[in-house]
Structures are given as C-alpha cells and as structure tokens.
Chains A and B, each alone.
Chain A
Amino acid sequence: MRQGDRAQFEDFAQATSGELLRAAFLMCGDRFLAEDLVQDTLARVYGRWSKVRDAENPVAYARTILVRLFISTTRKRSSTERPTADIPDQACLDADVALRHTLVAALRQLSATDRAIVVQRYLVGLDCRSVARDLDLSEQAVRSRSSRALARVREILGPDFLITSRSGPHE
C-alpha cells in the first residue's frame, strides 16, 4: 500500500474504530474480544482498501465485515462460549457501569445472531433490509427476531430496570 493510501486508511480507521468497537463490545460482551474483532475487521478492510475507499459507503462495508466476522468467530467458539446468567450486584457499582454490566449480561443470553440484530438495529440504527443483507437473512426474519429479542431483553431486565437505570448520573 502506498504511503498516501495508508494515511487515508488510518484516517478512516480512526474515524470508524469507535463505532465499530461499541458495536463489537455489545455483541461480544467483552472488551478484549471486541478489540480483537475490530482489529480483524480493520485488517480485512486494509487488504481491500483500494476498492473499499471508492465504495459508496466504506463505513457500511466495514460494519458488514465486522458483523459477519462476529457470527463466524462465534460459531467457531460456540463450544467454549457460555452465556452469563448472573447479573452483577448493582449496588456496588457506579450506575453506568452497572447498566453496562447488566445490559451486556442480558444480551449474552440471546443467540449471537439475535445479539447482532439488536446491535445493528438499535445501536447502529440500520433498517431491517440492511441488517438482513449483512446477516444473510430475510427482512421478515430480521423483523420478527428483533422483536422477539427485544421482548426477551425486557423480560431479563425486569419491569423496573428502566426506572432504576434512569436514576443514574446521566439522566
């Protein structure tokens, strides 16, 4: 890669790594796994940079790679991955940290695909069509799975969660 191209790629990576890391963190439920996933994503984008930079939406391209890598690595790791059923004791944690732990624990009880759908739909803000394309599912499947996943998260968190979480310092 030429020096100018590399600088351009680094600018792109700086600009998008935060968004990618936030999505990866919620999908993986672990900061280190999330960083690993983002670096693998950036590595793949790096290898195709001459094509990606001219694409209509390079950020969307990186997002697609991220979510597909996540699904693929989760399948490989499926024998070792265990959902976290225990929700940490919120009393001894700062409100936002507690929220993060609780939410991550709830998301980890969803399947990897459902987690990816929730993150793509509600954090990244993609429409069902884009999520369906990224995950190789039908739009209808994404719609019904996201709705079921939302209900499941609601059930795990309990009816009072929104009220208690609003009492944090940022609200």
Chain B
Amino acid sequence: MNEHEMTALLERATQGVHGTEALVAGGVRRGQRRVRRQRATALAGAAAVVALVATTAMLGPFGEKAPNPDERVAATDVKPKPAEAGPALPPKLERLQQQVMAPVPARLVADGTYVGTIEFDPRDGTGLGTVQAIVTEDPDDPLLSTWAGRCAQLEGCSETAGGWVLVEPSSPDVLGVNPDLEGTRGFYLGRDGRSVNLVAYNGTDPQMGGPVTREDPVLSRQELVQLVTDPTWFDS
C-alpha cells in the first residue's frame, strides 16, 4: 500500500461523516461557557487583589485602626535586609509553590504582581483544597512605613529579621451560601517591599461558595508561615 492508496482508503472510510448543525451549536455553547469561565477567573483574580488592597487599607494607615503617626516607622528608617533564607521547603510545600508559579512567565514577578489560584492535592488522602496566591514586589509599598507599628497590635502578626508575618483566618463565604467554608491567610511583607499573600481553603471554588472538600484548610498555619517567608517566590 502506498501513500496514495492510504489516502484513498482514509477518504472512503470517512465518507458519510459530516458536520452537523448540532455539532456547531455544541461548539458555540462550549465556547460561550469557556469565555464566561475565563471572565469569572479574571474577576476572581481582580477580587483577590481588591481584597488585599482592602486588607491593606484596613490594617494600614486608614480607618479607625490606623496606628498613631508617632508609632509609624518610615520606610527610610528601616534598613532593608535580604529575604530570609530559611531551610529548604518540605517536598509538599515545594510542590505547591511550583504548581502556583508554573504559569508565571519569567520576570513577571519581578516586574510587579502575580495572582494565581490552584487546586492543591496534599496527597495524604485528606482532599483537595484551593490555594490563592498574590506575590508582589514594590519597594515603595506604603505599607512599609506603617506595618511595624501595626503588626505589634495584631494578634497573629510577628516581626522577623526580614519583615513581618501575619497568619489569620480569612472569611471566604462572601456570598453567604456556605458557612462551612473556611480559609487561613498567611501574609509576609519584607522590608524590601516583597510580599507574599497566600490563602488556603478547605474547599474548592471559594469565590462561588464551595464546595467544602476537607475538614481543615489545605495548609496549616505553620505551613503558611514557611511558605510565605520562602524567598524562592522571587527567584524566577
């Protein structure tokens, strides 16, 4: 059998196979769903940034909880220190970090902000959970001038050699549809303006209210601290 005979056979074998209107309509429907999903994902990313900004505003120099200006530490007063080079991450956290950063084009993090959402399987039989990440680098972050004083007043916030670490519960059930949905936020702000904000949930699709897939958020408080203070986020 030569190439021409093969072509003739394939053509004969597909005689009578035609596209239909139903096929095209199905493609259009899937396309519309796909576009809607992409828009929803983009909105969720934007909402996560808004949430971070709102948290910043709440905990920063605005509103009732703003610290006394005397307590503020000017960015220039804080000597930048290199990011904490702690021990290497355990394999589970390293895998999560790689999964979060996989779609990030080189240098994107260094150029600004990266927002990523993944479904993470800890592979210990406890179930999947969503993890949202916001990684930023801004040496002029206004938080730098106020965070030292603010951190001292916050339960769950501690100062480290390189910056500040906050771990707190998040309130993912913004739609009010799933009170069992829980999240834990880990936030690191380095004195050099690098920050990592991670939220781990006990379910998937938290923006839409669930479903709950686990008993606890997919990362413990200790794991969140390890992850947000890891300097590897900025290695790419």
Residues of A within 8 A of B (CB): 1, 6, 9-10, 13-14, 16-22, 25-26, 31, 35, 38-47, 96, 99-100, 103-104, 118-119, 121-123, 125, 150, 153-154, 157, 161-162, 165, 168, 170
Residues of B within 8 A of A (CB): 1, 3, 5-7, 9-21, 23-24, 26-28, 30-35, 38
- The answer to whether A22 touches B14 (Cβ under 8 A) is yes
Specify which of B3, B18, B30 is in contact with A39 (CB 8 Å cutoff).
Answer: B30
- The answer to whether B18 touches A46 (Cβ under 8 A) is no
Query: In the complex, what residue of chain B is closest to A14 when comparing beta carbons?
Result: B24
Specify which of B9, B11, B17 is in contact with A165 (CB 8 Å cutoff).
Answer: B9
Write the nearest CB–CB distance from A68 to chain B, whole angstroms. 16
Question: B20 contacts which chain A residues (CB < 8 A)?
Answer: 17
Write the nearest CB–CB distance from A170 to chain B, whole angstroms. 6
Query: In the complex, what residue of chain A is closest to B38 when comparing beta carbons?
Result: A47
- The answer to whether B10 touches A39 (Cβ under 8 A) is no
- The answer to whether A17 touches B24 (Cβ under 8 A) is yes
- The answer to whether A13 touches B13 (Cβ under 8 A) is no
Question: B28 contacts which chain A residues (CB < 8 A)?
Answer: 6, 9-10, 13, 42-43, 46
8 contacts between A and B (CB under 8 A): A1-B35, A13-B19, A13-B24, A17-B19, A39-B27, A153-B1, A162-B1, A165-B12
Given contacts A38-B19, A46-B34, A170-B12, contact A150 B6 (CB under 8 A): yes
Question: B15 contacts which chain A residues (CB < 8 A)?
Answer: 96, 170
Specify which of A38, A100, A103 is in contact with B23 (CB 8 Å cutoff).
Answer: A38
Question: B21 contacts which chain A residues (CB < 8 A)?
Answer: 14
Question: A165 contacts which chain B residues (CB < 8 A)?
Answer: 9, 12
Write the nearest CB–CB distance from A94 to chain B, whole angstroms. 11
Complex Cα spacing A107 to B136, Å: 51
Question: B38 contacts which chain A residues (CB < 8 A)?
Answer: 47
Question: A43 contacts which chain B residues (CB < 8 A)?
Answer: 27-28, 30-31, 33-34
Write the nearest CB–CB distance from B179 to chain A, whole angstroms. 35
Question: A99 contacts which chain B residues (CB < 8 A)?
Answer: 9, 12-13
- Listed from nearest, the 10 A-B pairs whose CB atoms lie closest are A46-B31, A42-B27, A17-B19, A43-B30, A22-B14, A43-B31, A18-B19, A123-B10, A100-B13, A13-B24
- The answer to whether B9 touches A41 (Cβ under 8 A) is no
Specify which of A10, A42, A153, A170 is in contact with B6 (CB 8 Å cutoff).
Answer: A153
Complex Cα spacing A122 to B6, Å: 7
- The answer to whether B23 touches A44 (Cβ under 8 A) is no
Question: A161 contacts which chain B residues (CB < 8 A)?
Answer: 1
- The answer to whether B23 touches A21 (Cβ under 8 A) is yes
Question: B17 contacts which chain A residues (CB < 8 A)?
Answer: 18, 21-22, 25, 31
Complex Cα spacing A22 to B14, Å: 6
- Which of A13, A96, A119, A165 neighbours the largest number of chain B CB atoms within 10 Å of its CB? A13
Specify which of B1, B19, B26, B27 is in contact with A157 (CB 8 Å cutoff).
Answer: B1
Complex Cα spacing A35 to B27, Å: 9
- The answer to whether B10 touches A103 (Cβ under 8 A) is yes
- Which of B7, B18, B28 neighbours the largest number of chain A CB atoms within 10 Å of its CB? B28
- The answer to whether B5 touches A14 (Cβ under 8 A) is no
Complex Cα spacing A40 to B18, Å: 17
Question: A41 contacts which chain B residues (CB < 8 A)?
Answer: 27
Write the nearest CB–CB distance from B49 to chain A, whole angstroms. 23
Complex Cα spacing A41 to B30, Å: 9
Write the nearest CB–CB distance from A148 to chain B, whole angstroms. 13
Question: A44 contacts which chain B residues (CB < 8 A)?
Answer: 31, 34
Complex Cα spacing A38 to B25, Å: 11
Query: In the complex, what residue of chain B is closest to A22 when comparing beta carbons?
Result: B14
